[in-house]
Amino acid sequence: MAAGVLLLPLLGALLVLLLRGRGHWLMIGFQAVALLISVYLFSRLWPGNSDAATISPALTHARWNWFTPGAGYPFTLGIWLTIPAALLLVVVNGVALLVQLFSVVYMWKDPGFNRYFSFLGFFVFAMLGIVLADNLFLIFCFWEGVGLASYLLIGFWFNKPQAAAAAKKAFLVNRVGDIGFLIALLIFYAQFRTLDLAALFQLMPASYIQSGDWQAVWSGAAGALPAILLTVAGFGLLMGAIGKSAQFPLQIWLPDAMEGPTPVSALLHAATMVAAGVYLLSRVFPLLTPMVLDITAFIGATTAFMGAFAAFAQHDIKKVLAFSTISQLGYMVMGMGAGAYDAALFHLLTHAFFKAGLFLSAGAVIYALHEAAHRRHTHFDAQDMRNMGGLRRKLPFTFVIYLLCMLALAGLPFLSGFLSKDAILTGTMGWASVARKQWGILAWLVPLAGFTTALLTPIYMGRQLFLVFFGYNRLSDGNEVSYGAIREVPMLMRFPLLVLALLSLGIWFSFDAFDFQGAWPMRLLQLPQVAVPGSLTEYQAANRLFDIREAAFRYHTFTGVVSAILVLMGLLLAYLIYHLFNGRGSFYNNKFVFRSRITRLSYSNWHLDAIYRRTVIAFGLGLMHFANWLDRKVIDRLVDLLGMSGVVFGHVVYWFDRTFIDGAVQVSVWVAGQAGHFSRSMSGRVQQYLLIMLACMMAIILWMFF
C-alpha cells in the first residue's frame, strides 16, 4: 500500500509526459489519491487506532530480494513505514497537491506545462522514496533522484542563463555532500555487509569498541575497523544532509535555486528537497555518535544565524524567503544535533506548511504584478521588492495569508511556528547544559545562536511584510499605470493559500498554545532507540540523550517566555526600522542599493560566493590550468616523442630491412643460383660422373696420406 503511494506520482509523471493535451488534472488526481492513501496509512499507524499486533508487518515493513552478492546475504530493497515516515508521507503529498493546484494557474501560459507537471510528479516520487526506503542504498538512489528533479525544476526555464547556472550549481554543490553520504554507505557496508536500516539498528548495538577497534558481531564479521570510522560514517551522513538541507558551508545553492518557478520553490523548500536532509538525519539518528550530533548542533546553529542575517538585505522577494528557509533548516538540524529529535521533525512539519504558504503567497504577488504589467504592456521586475509596497489594498486575501504564515515563521504565540521553535530552543538549552562538560562555554553558543535567530526572524520577515504590503507603492515611481491594474489572484490559487495559512495556526497541533509538549507530533514521535556502540565519550550515547532531555524540562518556561518576548520585540523593531523611520518605505525605491559594509555582507550572503570563487573555484580553475599545461607540455610531448621514436624506429627498421633481410634474401638467391650452375654441370654423361668420382677419391686418398 505504501508502495502504491510511492509509485502513484511516478505513474502520474510518466502519463503526463505521454499526454497530448494539458495533463494537470491527471497529475493532481494521482496526487490526491496518494494523499488519501497516506492519510489512511497514517491513521492506521496512529497509536491506539490499531495496536501493534493487528498491524501486519507487510504494512509497515515489506522487503523484496534484489540480488545476492557472490558471498553474503541477499541485498534487499524495501519499504519501511515508521511513524515519522507516515507523517512525512502526509506532509509531502499534501504540500505537493496544494502546490500542483497553485501551479495550474501559475504555469498556465507556459509552453512547458506538461513537462512541468511531470517533473513535479517525479520530484514527489523521489522524495517519497527517501521517506519510505528501508535501505541506505535505496535512500541514496532516491536522494540522487531528488537531486536530479531539483536540477530539472530549478533549470526549468533553461533558456535563462541564470536558471541554467543555478540548476548546475545546486546539482554540483549537492554532489559535494553526496560524497560524504557515499563514504558512510561504504563504511557501513564494509562493517556489516548490509545497508538495511532495520538490520543496522540491530547490528550496531551488538558491535562494540575495544582498544580503538570497532568490532562487528555477526556470523560473517570480517574483523575490526578503526573506531574512528564509526564517527566518520556519521559525519558522512551529516555531510549528505548538509548538502541537501543547505547547511553551512554548502548553503550557497539555495538562494540561486530561486531561479526556478515559484511553486517549485514552495515545494522544494517545504516538503521535497531540503526536508530530505533533516529527514535523513532523523532516519539514521540511532547511528550517529554523540560527537557527530554535537557537530550537527554547531553546524545547525551557525546556519540558522547566517541564514537569518543574510535574509536582511535582499531585494528579491523570494530570496528573503530562501534565506529564511536556510535559517529554519538550521534550526531543524540544530535540534537534531541537540537530541531534540521530535522537536526537529515537528518543526519540519510546521515549517512545511507555513513556508509553502509564504512561497505560494510570494508567487501570488509575483503573479499579480506580472499580470498587471502584462495588462498595461509595461515591463518591470515582478520579484523585486523595490517595485512593491502598499499591496495590501490591492491583494487583501494574499496579504492575510502572508501575514498568518509570516507570523508563524516569526514564531508568534498561537501559531504553529512558536510551538516547534520553542521545542527546539528548549532542546538546545538542555543540550548545552549537558554538553558544556565537553565543550565548555562554547556549548552555550548554540542556544545563543538559536535565540538570536529567533529575534532576527521577525525583523527580516517584518521587513518583507512592511516593504511588500504596507507603505507607499513604489511602482508608481515609474509605472503608475501598472499599480491600478493589479488584481487579486484567481480562486484556484487562493484555495491552496487558504489551506496552508489555516495549517499554520497553532490550534491544530496543540490546544494549549504555550505547551509544545502537549502537541500531538511531540507525543507521537518517540525518540528512537540509540544504536551507537561503546563509549566514545565518558558515557553511553543513550544515557547522554536521556540527560539532555531531562535537563531540557527545566528550561521549558524560560524559553517560552524569552522567545515570545523576542518575537514581539523583533516585530516592533521591524515596524520601527523598516516602516516608521523609513519614510513608510518611500526610500526603498528602485534606485536603492545597499551601501554600508554590513548590509553588503548580508546582501552577498557573507560573501560566501566570492569566498568560494577565490578558494575552491580558483583552486579548481588552477588545477584545470595546470592539467591543461601538463596535458600540452608533458603528455602531448610524450605522445609526440612516442610518435617521433616510432618514426626513428621505422627508419632503423628500414635500414635493417634493406641491409640484412634483403641481403639475406640476395644471398639465398645467389646460393640458389650457384646451385643452379652446379646442377647444370650434371651433364648426364656417366663417364664424366665416374671421372669426378675418381678425382674425389684421389683427393681423399691424397688427404689421408699427406
Partner 1 sequence: MIPLSHYLILATLLFCIGLAVTITRKNAIAVLIGLELMLNAANINLVAFSRYDGVQLQGQMFALFVIVVAAAEAAVALALVVRVYGYYKIADLDKLNRLKG
Q: Site residues (CB under 8 A) for partner 1?
A: 679, 682-687, 690-691, 694
- Rounded least distance, CB 668 to partner 1, Å: 22
Closer residue to partner 1, CB minimum distance, 46 or 689? 689
Closer residue to partner 1, CB minimum distance, 661 or 691? 691
Residue (of 514, 307, 493) closest to 401 by Cα position:
493
Closer residue to partner 1, CB minimum distance, 67 or 705? 705
Phi, psi (deg, nearest 5) at residue 64: -130, 140
Q: Which residue has the cell 489594498?
A: 393
Closer residue to partner 1, CB minimum distance, 217 or 690? 690
- In one letter, which amino acid is 518? G
Q: How far is CA 9 from CA 92, 119, 141, 519, in A?
A: 11, 10, 17, 31
Q: How far apart are alpha carbons 404 and 410 in whole angstroms? A: 10
Q: How far is CA 525 from CA 82, 343, 517, 544, in A?
A: 10, 9, 11, 19
- Rounded least distance, CB 686 to partner 1, Å: 6
208-210 and 213-215 beta bridge pairing: antiparallel
Is the peptide bond prior to 111 cis by the omega test (within 30 degrees of 0)?
A: no
Q: How many CB atoms lie within 10 A of CB 592?
A: 12
- Rounded least distance, CB 648 to partner 1, Å: 51
Provide the β-strand partners of residue 76.
65
Closer residue to partner 1, CB minimum distance, 219 or 687? 687
- Rounded least distance, CB 651 to partner 1, Å: 46
Q: How far is CA 532 from CA 199, 231, 528, in A?
A: 13, 10, 12
Q: How far apart are alpha carbons 578 and 565 in whole angstroms? A: 20
Q: How far apart are alpha carbons 590 and 478 in whole angstroms? A: 9
Q: How many CB atoms lie within 10 A of CB 355?
A: 29
Q: How many CB atoms lie within 10 A of CB 624?
A: 10
The one-character DSSP state at 50 is S
Instruction: Check the CA dihedral 200-201-203-208 and report its sign.
Output: positive
Q: How far apart are alpha carbons 285 and 444 in whole angstroms? A: 23
Closer residue to partner 1, CB minimum distance, 377 or 680? 680
Closer residue to partner 1, CB minimum distance, 442 or 690? 690
Residues whose CB falls within 8 Å of the CB of residue 573, separated by 6 or more in sequence, listed in order: 458, 459, 462
Q: How far apart are alpha carbons 371 and 387 in whole angstroms? A: 14
- Rounded least distance, CB 646 to partner 1, Å: 51
Closer residue to partner 1, CB minimum distance, 638 or 698? 698
- In one letter, which amino acid is 142? F
- Rounded least distance, CB 676 to partner 1, Å: 11
Closer residue to partner 1, CB minimum distance, 652 or 694? 694
Residue (of 15, 4, 276, 261) closest to 121 by Cα position:
15
Q: How far apart are alpha carbons 678 and 266 in whole angstroms? A: 104
For residues 552 and 441, the answer to whether their CB atoms sit within 8 Å is no
Q: Give rounded-to-5 percent helix, strand, coil for the chain.
A: 75, 5, 20
Q: How far is CA 630 from the centre of its chain?
A: 35
Phi, psi (deg, nearest 5) at residue 13: -60, -40
Closer residue to partner 1, CB minimum distance, 53 or 704? 704
- Rounded least distance, CB 664 to partner 1, Å: 28
- Rounded least distance, CB 682 to partner 1, Å: 6
Closer residue to partner 1, CB minimum distance, 491 or 695? 695
Closer residue to partner 1, CB minimum distance, 21 or 684? 684
Closer residue to partner 1, CB minimum distance, 18 or 694? 694
Closer residue to partner 1, CB minimum distance, 678 or 706? 678
SS3 label, residue 316: strand
Provide the β-strand partners of residue 61.
80
Residue (of 192, 183, 499, 548) closest to 342 by Cα position:
548
- Rounded least distance, CB 679 to partner 1, Å: 7
- Rounded least distance, CB 705 to partner 1, Å: 16
Q: 381: phi > 0 → left, psi -120 to 50 → alpha, else beta; which? A: beta
